[in-house]
Chain A
């Protein structure tokens, strides 16, 4: 939590002022019972009306000053908490955007979203409450004890026993219930998971007629969520009644004790009233304090989680600017994904030059996409070297690499907006002509023309208003419109049928003389015309060559080819 706390710096002033004003407000409140003593003992007892009215006015002015102090404090703390949350969100967002693919994989998308949304909100609530109550609650509690001493030392001793007792009780109950609340939270997540599975897997569940079993299973989880919630309730509900009893018993003892002191003439009626008054102030403040502890505990947990995500290493970035890509070379490149024991790639050697096209083919899990990711510099090689223009790819800045490389990823992603907005991802200042040209090359013109608004047609979140094949074609268009040296099409055409595919393929080949084109596919028909074809099998490079060479030399390639072209009679 401490590392992310430093971001509150721009609001340092507010962070000091807010509790300070709260403190002032509280000290004014503590004067109130003293005023009452004076009213009773110097007013009523001696029949002094002016004194009473004077004291009454004093009470009102104390309240007014207190209100002003309090409003000022609330303003500062709202400003600091909201502002801090804003800074945190911006930092996290920035951090996520610059995380390496490796980190993105290991953290996971859901986690990142939770951190930047609900966790930050919780931190904001925590900071806000902390600034407001940090000084106030303890100050009122201890202040009341000290004031009690000024009123009557013997009676004040009761406070000295009651307050620590209350603190112990509050903390015991909190300590007991906080871990249980965590359990409730995780049970709730289990229930949520089951509901999500039932909604997403509805076809599978119905196809296997598993409705009853699923219902039973879910009901069981719901029951156990109820059971644990009830259990937590039994503990946390103790807080209020127990503090109530302790405070009232303390008041009771003040009375009993008072009866002895009165006999000695050591205490006035006004003083007893003041003591009772301080006791009830403590009760109110203590409940607030318990709340503060709960909220702050939650916030610290959230803050820790945010910090854990942020502190997972700084981003390594090269300093060289890449002007253009002349060649790319893999030298004994091996690669393993984080947390997976087995390598995804083993000692890959390959070399690409300007104007060349290369096809990568292989089975499911053979490492095709991994090669694409490494080519784009998304992951560093686990061992071996990737050289761009003869220099290690790590030496180049990510930004300049990204500028020279364009990829259409395996899973086509479209963003909310219009078709135009999406194409602009590839080229910010693309003209309509350029867009149509790119769409043409990706065989996407026809269906875009059929949409309302054409280039300005709406794209819903995740591209949900486009079919799988259409999304892929748009993704290819977005890749092609970008002016770069290396184009990587990572299995981008798997959901297209063969006729459509042919067109796309033809267009891809017309890309240009000085470009490097990498096409990754499971289908021989897509890559057979490439200058070089690399055949991957279980992460190893099985063979490399032209289609004709491979048809002679590569068993795997021949088999792939045969299974896809089995009608060659």
Chain B
């Protein structure tokens, strides 16, 4: 699994490989420069107090003038490279994700929580790229700094280097201990926080219901209980994680004191070990423990990033739908045939079995039945949102599985019970199916859908901005916009899945008139629970518990005096 994850990550870095490598080279250069500068300064300090040190001093000063800007430039370009790599990796993943979403079967998307997928695409990608790339960079810089420091110390004096080396286990131990402890505590905190967020989500979303039932006090109590636990967990996590810096400083200080004492001793005895070199050693000692923290801190971050990467990978390798090539077919005549179609959302729970249906072009087919009987399922099959477990569906005699989704769905116009409004103007929302529609066409479609009169009354008419879920529009108004959408694209087959259930009956009658016009010479499928709207259909399919139990025209079905008659009469008694 690990190697697959790494391979996956590499695939996304590959496009920015040049910058990734450049960043590594530059960070090595930066570390070298940053470490070398104190050394040169130390030499300079010595030269100040040496007989004839002027020349050394001059050389040190010139060297400094070159190294300081160079190091800074390396650091800057390194940051730019890192930024670029991480931003581009996120960009590539998100672009693949949007393409992926379009190709995934609806069954997969239905089964996944939308919030979960969104947090995968937004939060996890960021976490992965930050954690992984920045983490890797910090890790690399940390390691090179430690090694570089040791090298320079050896160059200065091996005894000092040994001394510092002795501190290493202590540094490692302390930072590992703290980061491990912190991880557990933060994990605990985020668990409780998740619990609280869930509670907040539920109660705030439904705050009106909470108020109506006077449930505020109970909620406050429950919230208070979780809140108390969260405060406690959070205090611990924050406190422990904030120990990292002081303890590093303490380790550094010990190291500093040791180097100061030992260095001074050497300094007194040996001419070669100058005060300047002592300065340098001290400044190295002062920074020695810091990279250890960064490294251990990075390790937890890396683990988290890898976990995110794996989740993203699993999403991106999810099985896609098989899509035949588009053949740019002529618009269909609208003949639909279902042959021995069986279907269930899972294989062991068959909802529809052996359904046969022959719909000639231009016929009106109504699907009726009690709540939850599988009416919408049939629509899902026609649109190929789901595929049957067995059997075939033909459009103009062609098996729909051999058509591309585009060739198939371009023939359909669909209005669902649940309205879909996107961020944008009213006009944008109407022209979803036909982005190049002119304003006249849009208004024409809205008029046909009886939406024109209310749109006109909106603050900016067709240019009124709508929020993501339609904001202030009523459900009925949103539905009218969805209907206008279909009016605009002029499809050869029409699907109305409880399209008018949120509209009052009088408006419905008017919209139906519009639909009536639209349905002329077009095959249409209508799911409805108000039976008077479908009385004039050519075929009425009566469904119960997933099966079509009766089939025929209104008069035929009424004559049968069966389930349809019962349903129909129930409205009027």
Contacts and interface: CB of A to CB of B under 8 A. Distances in A.
B432 A210 contact: yes
B238 A363 contact: no
Contacts of B84: 230, 233
A99 interface: yes
Interface in B252-270: 253-254, 256-258, 260-261, 264-265, 267-268
Interface string B487-517: 0010000010000011111111100000000
A567 interface: yes
B228 A86 contact: yes
A248 interface: yes
A197 B235 contact: no
B275 interface: yes
A451 interface: no
B260 A222 contact: no
B234 interface: yes
B87 A230 contact: yes
Interface stretch (B94-102, B148-156, B352-360, B437-445): B94-102
Contacts of B106: 202-203, 206
A215 B102 CA distance: 8
B118 interface: yes
Interface string A144-168: 0000000000000000000000000
A398 B216 CA distance: 11
B409 interface: yes
A498 B369 CA distance: 10
Contacts of B435: 213
A272 B468 CA distance: 64
Interface string A249-278: 101100110110010000001101100110
Contacts of B531: 498
A16 B288 CA distance: 33
B122 A223 contact: no
Contact of B87 (A104, A219, A226): A226
A237 B196 CA distance: 37
A219 B510 CA distance: 40
Contact of B204 (A113, A204, A225, A559): A113
Interface string A399-427: 10011011101000101100000000110
For B210, B406, B502, B504, the residue with the greatest tally of chain A CB atoms inside 10 Å of its CB is B504
A71 B535 CA distance: 80
B223 A90 contact: yes
A117 interface: yes
Interface string A505-540: 000000000000000001101000000000000000
Contacts of A237: 76, 79-80, 83
Interface stretch (A319-327, A489-497, A544-552): A489-497
A565 B87 contact: no
Given A203-B106, A213-B435, A564 B246 contact: no
Contacts of B405: 206, 209
B532 A564 contact: yes
B524 to A, nearest CB: 14
B250 A363 contact: no
Given A66-B253, A214-B98, A407 B48 contact: no
Contacts of B420: 200-201, 203-204
Interface in B396-411: 405-406, 409-410
A113 B6 CA distance: 36
Interface stretch (A1-9, A44-52, A292-300, A328-336): A44-52
B482 to A, nearest CB: 8
B572 to A, nearest CB: 6
For A62, A128, A198, the residue with the greatest tally of chain B CB atoms inside 10 Å of its CB is A198
Nearest to A208: B433
A543 B528 CA distance: 30
A211 B102 contact: yes
Contact of A244 (B75, B98, B246, B249): B75
Majority secondary structure of chain A interface residues (helix, strand, loop or mixed): helix
A164 B228 CA distance: 44
A82 B235 contact: yes
B114 A199 contact: yes
Given A78-B238, A191-B122, A399 B257 contact: no
A140 to B, nearest CB: 12
Nearest to A125: B238
Nearest to A132: B242
For B57, B236, B250, B485, the residue with the greatest tally of chain A CB atoms inside 10 Å of its CB is B250
A15 to B, nearest CB: 14
A262 B49 contact: yes
B371 A468 contact: yes
Interface in B274-304: 275-276, 278-279, 282-283, 286
A500 B570 CA distance: 9
A366 B477 CA distance: 12
B521 interface: no
A308 interface: no
B260 A55 contact: yes
B207 interface: yes
B347 interface: no
A407 B278 CA distance: 81
Nearest to A63: B253
A194 B457 CA distance: 28
A541 to B, nearest CB: 16
B65 interface: yes
Nearest to A239: B79
B433 A210 contact: yes
B200 interface: yes
A63 B254 contact: yes
B231 A86 contact: yes
Interface in A52-84: 52-53, 55-57, 59-60, 62-64, 66-67, 70-71, 74-75, 77-79, 81-83
Contacts of A262: 48-49
Interface in B527-573: 529-532, 535, 566-567, 570-573
A60 B253 contact: yes
A482 interface: yes
Given A197-B423, A364-B477, A53 B261 contact: yes
A223 B91 contact: yes
A104 B208 contact: yes
Interface stretch (A35-43, A172-180, A346-354, A384-392): A35-43
A386 B455 CA distance: 32
A83 B246 contact: no
Nearest to B370: A497
A467 B507 CA distance: 27
B273 to A, nearest CB: 10
Interface stretch (B66-74, B161-169, B311-319, B337-345): B66-74
A89 interface: yes
B418 to A, nearest CB: 8
Nearest to A29: B249
A198 B416 contact: no
B351 to A, nearest CB: 14
B414 A207 contact: yes
Interface string B358-375: 000000000001111000
A277 B476 CA distance: 73
For B238, B433, B509, B570, the residue with the greatest tally of chain A CB atoms inside 10 Å of its CB is B238
Contacts of A71: 243, 246
Given A71-B243, A199-B109, A78 B235 contact: yes
B214 A273 contact: no
Contacts of A214: 98, 102
A134 B102 CA distance: 50
The 9 closest A-B pairs by CB, nearest first: A364-B476, A63-B253, A363-B504, A56-B261, A237-B79, A233-B83, A70-B246, A59-B257, A86-B231
23 contacts: A56-B257, A67-B246, A78-B235, A78-B238, A82-B235, A89-B223, A93-B227, A197-B423, A210-B433, A218-B98, A237-B76, A242-B72, A255-B44, A272-B45, A273-B278, A365-B477, A378-B208, A378-B212, A405-B212, A415-B206, A428-B218, A468-B371, A498-B570
Given A364-B477, A500-B370, 6 more contacts: A196-B118, A199-B118, A240-B76, A276-B45, A364-B502, A498-B571
